Homo-oligomer: A and B are copies of this chain.
Amino acid sequence: MHSAEELSKVLKVLADPTRLTMLKQMQDGEQCACSFVDCFDISQPAISRHLKMMRQAGLLLERRDKQWIHYRLNETSPFYSIVVELLNRVETLEASCDCDAECAI
């Protein structure tokens, strides 16, 4: 149970097609930040800020591996179940762009 204030803050984070798509990809498992840079037609700093926003909302966890940072859904977030419910209603992506193997921007 959340206040309208709390929930609306999280919904604002979710209410963006790029972030929704990023989250959807993370439903399949951890994603390297660089894979998002590959997937979307926006700059690396834009990707970085989307990730920061989701991290600050508590929706993401990160794991550093050498120079790469891998992001995954935070299953312990009080909003995790909402995120999953919403993502389950989002169509899967046409192009799967997984560059975790090489991670070369």
Contact = CB atoms under 8 A, between A and B. Distances in A.
A68 to B, nearest CB: 25
Sorting the interface of chain A by its residue count into under 10, 10 to 19, 20 to 34 or 35 or more gives 20 to 34
Contact of A17 (B5, B16, B20, B24): B5
Q: Within the oligomer, what is the number of copies of this chain?
A: 2
Nearest to A9: B15
Contacts of A82: 85-86, 89
A35 interface: no
A12 B8 CA distance: 9
A2 interface: yes
Contacts of A11: 11, 14-15, 20, 86
A90 interface: yes
B15 A14 contact: yes
Interface in A1-45: 1-5, 7-9, 11-12, 14-17, 19-21, 24
A9 to B, nearest CB: 8
